[in-house]
Amino acid sequence: MILITHALTGDSHCTGYYSDDDENPGWWEPLIGPGKAFDTNKYFIICSNCLGGCQGTTGPASIDPETGKPYALSFPVITIRDMVNTQRTLLDHLGIDKLLAVSGGSMGGMNVLEWAVSYPEKVRSIIPISTCGRLSPQGIAFSEVERQAIISDPNWNGGNYYDSDLPANGLAIARMIGHITYLSSESMLKKFGRRTRKDDEVSRFGKRFEIESYLHYQGDKFVSRFDANSYIYLTKAMDFYDVAENCESFDEGAAQIKSKALFISFRSDWLFSPRETAELVDAMRKTGREIDYHEIESEYGHDAFLVEYPKYSYLISRFLERVSRYYNS
Amino acid sequence: MILITHALTGDSHCTGYYSDDDENPGWWEPLIGPGKAFDTNKYFIICSNCLGGCQGTTGPASIDPETGKPYALSFPVITIRDMVNTQRTLLDHLGIDKLLAVSGGSMGGMNVLEWAVSYPEKVRSIIPISTCGRLSPQGIAFSEVERQAIISDPNWNGGNYYDSDLPANGLAIARMIGHITYLSSESMLKKFGRRTRKDDEVSRFGKRFEIESYLHYQGDKFVSRFDANSYIYLTKAMDFYDVAENCESFDEGAAQIKSKALFISFRSDWLFSPRETAELVDAMRKTGREIDYHEIESEYGHDAFLVEYPKYSYLISRFLERVSRYYNS
């Protein structure tokens, strides 16, 4: 049994098509399926929507049974540990006691780490990808301007917008900023360069460079599928996550993780940079343990974990085989 | 005679105190004065407010004599070349025909390059700092989300806010994003780490990390001194600036610069990165010319050109001495 944990704006739909209406398969389709890295011929895979999100599990947009209205900001502040405890409750309900592995990228990777910290006896191995034990101040800074863009939208209305116009402008800007941090300067240069679009020259300050059109497209598309309050709650959970919370030192926090571990980061990722991943891996190695850590060459920035499958899927299958053999022998 | 050109939110006040009310001296105080790099015992220094700004030279906030109201968005779209031509008009008015040097950082550096392109016969040397021949798509992306934050503020009102409430929230967010791009991940980590401020824990989503408080402080402070429409016009001018505009290639654009040149960049600057500066320097070197180029070790990011004076001021004084000797001999 393997648990997959999703990123900030992801959901439980991690692979395959659920219905004929699906335009795209799940977000980790190339990794999960028969014969793939997370081989469904060998392992059961489970993935749930995270607490605080807006895709199914309870979040600020859910109806508060006491009032019959959405929780909005009366939804309690949540942490990565709360997300993990919700997953734990689900597994208990399903009668699953042990996980061969927990894996996910970005915020999903924080979930992975917290599983190993909170429930070491249940987790035989972890595969945290493009993640870190605590977000950098630069990452927090981006989170905060994203939240400010949402909060400053007059439609946000203190979080009470469910019966009226959505804070669409603010949420779109937050997503645009997010996308800048998901790409790298190199990948933007290769993909968009300084090319401009002639058909956009309608207004004096209209879109013009292709990179601008791309960001607007991503921002606009996001608004219809994501809840602004969830964005605030989840980014706060990421900002505050610290693998060493309540520990004397970061090393002590890292030493709590006893599971076998395969860490993967990507060179051009500057939101969850290899430096941040290495900080945690180095701290774990101080306990004398062997940790698999691969920093992969890529120009795709943070998005690499959703792009560079041929460069890292074999690492996962090999690692899982090794872990399976160890526990079956 | 040396012309100093200022950055996006700078102004003509480049050194010294103008009045007893000045809290701070000019923005390049450590570089300009008697015995300093730009040695006022040896050279006359001139610095003017840039066209389109809001510190003195005409901009969107200026009164249109035809209507008696601020230009707002009826102000024409301006370019870096227009800024240079305004400076040129000022120098003509003052009877100054030749400049020993033009120097400035960031957007000021783009002004410097454009001086060499537009008026090669008037510019004996250039000292472009923390700048490039054309902004990266990542730089354009940040400009665009900054502008969107302003434009989405309902008080912006299509640029007509001079008689009512200012688009303060939007402008503050733009500034906050700007400040993230002026610092580096390393400098944020050293300066703020993940430290939190207890006194800020008043609201559920209030400021909490020190980096957040810093950005809010910078955003709020900016609103009282800068015009939102100027921010839009000037960032657009930067985005569109291309030293090779109307040329067949970037190399051809670079080859237009004939003046002696001292380029300076800073290693951790990721808004105007050394890679961007080197792109231009390399293209200029293809013409067989000697170009002074120094990439300076620093953790201060783009802000380094306003911080790391001991690391680069001597380069400027030596360069200016050499240029002066050359033209006096």
Q: Which of B213, B239, B302, B303 is catalytic?
A: B302
pLDDT computed for residue A206 by the predictor: 52
ipTM: 0.96
**B177: which chain A residues are within 8 Å (Cβ-Cβ)?**
145, 177
SS3 content of chain B, % helix, strand, coil (to 5): 45, 15, 40
Asked if the Cβ–Cβ distance from A205 to B236 is below 8 Å, we say: yes
Q: Which of A12, A103, A106, A265 is catalytic?
A: A106
Judge whether B51 and B59 are in contact, CB under 8 Å. Answer: yes
Interface test with B, best of A144, A169, A179 (most B CBs within 10 A): A144
Judge whether B254 and B133 are in contact, CB under 8 Å. Answer: yes
pLDDT, one tens digit per residue, over A203-230 is 665 558 999 999 999 999 999 999 999 9
Under the phi-then-psi rule, with left for phi > 0, alpha for psi from -120 to 50, and beta for the rest, what region is A56? Answer: left
Mean pLDDT, all residues of chain B: 95
Asked if the Cβ–Cβ distance from A136 to B188 is below 8 Å, we say: yes
Neighbouring C-alpha atoms within 13 Å toward the C-beta of B187: 21
The residue of chain A nearest to residue B194, with distances taken between CA atoms, is: A137
Query: Which of B10, B238, B272, B243 is CA-nearest to residue B144?
Result: B238
| Rounded mean pLDDT, B244-269 | 96
Nearest to B205 among A134, A205, A232 (CB): A232
Under the phi-then-psi rule, with left for phi > 0, alpha for psi from -120 to 50, and beta for the rest, what region is A42? Answer: alpha
pLDDT computed for residue A208 by the predictor: 84
Confidence of residue A327 (pLDDT cuts 50, 70, 90): confident
Both structure tokens of A245 = 């919370």
Please report where in the chains the tokens 């945290």 appear, as a residue.
A128
A291-322 per-residue burial string, b: 16 or more CB within 10 A, e: under 16? bbbbbbebbbbbbbbbebbebbbebbbebbee
pLDDT computed for residue B207 by the predictor: 54
Query: Which of A37, A43, A246 is CA-nearest to residue A129?
Result: A37
Judge whether A102 and A127 are in contact, CB under 8 Å. Answer: yes
pLDDT, one tens digit per residue, over B188-232 is 999 999 998 865 555 665 558 999 999 999 999 999 999 999 999
pLDDT computed for residue A291 by the predictor: 95
The conformation of residue B3, written as its DSSP 8-state character, comes to E
- The CATH topology of domain B2-328 is Rossmann fold (3.40.50)
Nearest to A188 among B141, B169, B170 (CB): B141
A106 is catalytic: yes
Residue B178 predicted with pLDDT over 60: yes
Residue B312 predicted with pLDDT over 80: yes
Residue A200 predicted with pLDDT over 80: no
All structural domains of chain A with their residue ranges = 2-328
Judge whether A244 and A100 are in contact, CB under 8 Å. Answer: no
- How buried is residue A78: exposed, middle or buried, by Cβ count under 10 Å (0-12/13-18/19+)? buried
Residue A144 C-alpha, separation from nearest chain B C-alpha, in angstroms: 7
pLDDT computed for residue A202 by the predictor: 54
Confidence of residue B328 (pLDDT cuts 50, 70, 90): confident
pLDDT, one tens digit per residue, over B28-37 is 999 999 999 9
Q: Which of A39, A239, A269, A303 is catalytic?
A: A269
pLDDT computed for residue B68 by the predictor: 97
Q: Got the DSSP string for A140-164?
A: HHHHHHHHHHHHTSGGGGGG--TTS
| Rounded mean pLDDT, A248-269 | 97
Asked if the Cβ–Cβ distance from B188 to A154 is below 8 Å, we say: no
**A207: which chain B residues are within 8 Å (Cβ-Cβ)?**
144
A203 is catalytic: no
Residue A197 predicted with pLDDT over 90: no
pLDDT computed for residue B137 by the predictor: 98
Judge whether B13 and B21 are in contact, CB under 8 Å. Answer: no
pLDDT, one tens digit per residue, over B34-62 is 999 999 999 999 999 999 999 999 999 99
| Rounded mean pLDDT, B299-314 | 98
pLDDT above 90: percentage of residues in chain A: 93
CB-based contacts of A247-251 (< 8 A; 24+ apart in sequence): A250/A133, A250/A134, A250/A279, A250/A283, A251/A283, A251/A286
Count of other CB atoms within 10 angstroms of residue B291: 17
B239 is catalytic: no
Q: Are strands B69-70 and B63-64 parallel, antiparallel or unpaired?
A: antiparallel
Asked if the Cβ–Cβ distance from A137 to B173 is below 8 Å, we say: no
